[in-house]
């Protein structure tokens, strides 16, 4: 069994990881380089890297510096050469350990119902199933989008109940994204409760 460690991504490494981000995520799912650099520099987000000995295997960008005690995993990807080996699961378990003192961890997942191809549908359903196996639940009864990209929200309760997360998700996400985007762009986070 490999021994994995998690290290902090150095600001000087962001340029290299940003090349991966551009390949691993669709435009609109990640911040411009200068914005992400500033967020990491200011501690609004943190970059974490999963390693095995001297190899980087996966990376995550997490909004964990807000005062409300919730963590949003903004980006998470296994580097291309290491996919399909259980590394994503190992990384998530490490993140759960790192954030065990928080209220909950939240992830955004693309909506399967908006898939345009069977492959995209499989990928999106697979992503939801991945998080469900790790204990996350889909937050019901909301319409949510960020930067005009419709998403589902999923959460892993740590020190509060699933019900409290579901009830307070609008307030939680507003506070997280206010820290990330500021007053100028907070309107780009849309969340409403379905009737």
- Number of domains composing the chain: 1
The full length of the chain comes to: 195
Closest CA to 168 of 132, 142, 131, 135: 142
pLDDT at 164: 93
Looking at residue 91, what is its pLDDT? 97
At 118, which CATH number? Answer: 3.40.630.30
Positions in the chain short of pLDDT 70: 1, 66, 195
pTM: 0.92
**Which residues on neighbouring strands pair with residue 153, listed in sequence order?**
108
Question: What does the pLDDT read at residue 195?
Answer: 65
Domain housing 63: 4-193
pLDDT score for 188: 76
DSSP sequence for the chain = ---EEEEEPPGGGHHHHHHHHHHHS-TTSS--HHHHHHHHHHTSSEEEEEEETTEEEEEEEEE--STTSEEEEEEEEE-GGGTTSSHHHHHHHHHHHHTTTSSEEEEEEE-GGG-SSHHHHHHHHHHHHHHHHTT-EEPPSEEEEETTEEEEEEEEESSS-HHHHHHHHHHHHHHHHHHHHHHHHGGGEEEEE--
pLDDT of residue 165: 93
What does the pLDDT read at residue 1?
A: 56
């Amino acid at each position: 069994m490999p021994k994995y460690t998690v290290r902090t991504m150095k600001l000087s490494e962001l340029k290299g990881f940003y090349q991966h981000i551009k390949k691993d995520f669709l435009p609109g799912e990640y911040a411009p380089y200068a914005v992400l650099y500033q967020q990491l520099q200011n501690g609004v987000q943190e970059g974490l890297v999963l390693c095995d000995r001297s190899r980087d295997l996966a990376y995550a960008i997490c909004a964990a510096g807000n005062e409300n005690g919730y963590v949003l995993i903004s980006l998470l990807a296994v580097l291309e050469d290491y996919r399909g080996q259980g590394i994503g699961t190992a990384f998530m378990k490490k993140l759960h350990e790192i954030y065990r003192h928080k209220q909950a961890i939240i992830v955004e997942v693309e909506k399967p119902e908006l898939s345009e191809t069977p492959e995209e549908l499989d990928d999106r359903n697979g992503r939801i199933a991945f998080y469900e196996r790790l204990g996350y639940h889909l937050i019901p009864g909301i319409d949510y989008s960020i930067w005009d990209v419709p998403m589902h929200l999923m959460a892993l309760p740590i020190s509060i109940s699933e019900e409290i997360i579901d009830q307070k998700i609008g307030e939680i996400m507003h506070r997280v994204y206010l820290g990330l985007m500021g007053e100028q762009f907070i309107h780009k986070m849309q969340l409403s409760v379905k009737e």
